[in-house]
Amino acid sequence: MSFGTLTPFQIQFTVVVSPSTKVDAAKPNTHLPNGNYLTSPWQYTPYRDHRVHFWINPQDLKFSRTANGRYHDDLQLITILYRDDGVIANSIASTVPIEISADDLDSVMVSGLNFDQKIAVPTTGNFFLRAGVGEVSSSHVGALEIPVEWIKPIATSDPSH
């Protein structure tokens, strides 16, 4: 998951990144807002929350069958925000257990798996988002990297946003 390295492709997935139109800033000497893990020097600078929506191709996963006939897997979702020189500005990681009934397996294999993460991105500077999906049981990984400058908030006609 290091910045600028070759991207592993054992797990195929896509992301849709949706930035909030609202700009926030934490006040110095206060706790950071829930879900904001910005590192120094960005902790108290203006930022915009970004929703990272993962769509994962389940064809690449190695589900195990449990004693009760269900299919199980554990995925790790990681999103890291790098400054253009490779310094980490923010990151979030979560482990997602998946349990699928035998009846639902076929439809999940067609529709895919969907998960969301939220990450705060400073409003100034040059940054890259690197998103990754790892399967715990097989150690297979997929990753991708996109410049934040490609991600634009959707303009709204409502001035309250």
pLDDT digits (tens, 9 = 90+) for 23-36: 999 888 888 777 77
pLDDT tens digit sequence for 25-76: 988 888 877 777 899 899 999 999 999 999 999 999 999 999 999 999 999 9
State residue 160's pLDDT score: 53
Question: Domain boundaries in the chain?
Answer: 13-150
Surface-to-core class of residue 55, CB atoms within 10 Å of its CB (0-12 exposed, 13-18 middle, 19+ buried): middle
Cα 82 to chain centroid, rounded: 13
| CATH of range 13-150; options 3.30.200, 3.30.750, 2.60.40, 2.40.30 | 2.60.40
Tell me the pairing of strands 47-56 and 113-122: antiparallel
Mean pLDDT of 125-130: 96
- Mean pLDDT taken over the chain: 91
State residue 155's pLDDT score: 67
Q: Is the pTM of this model over 0.85?
A: yes
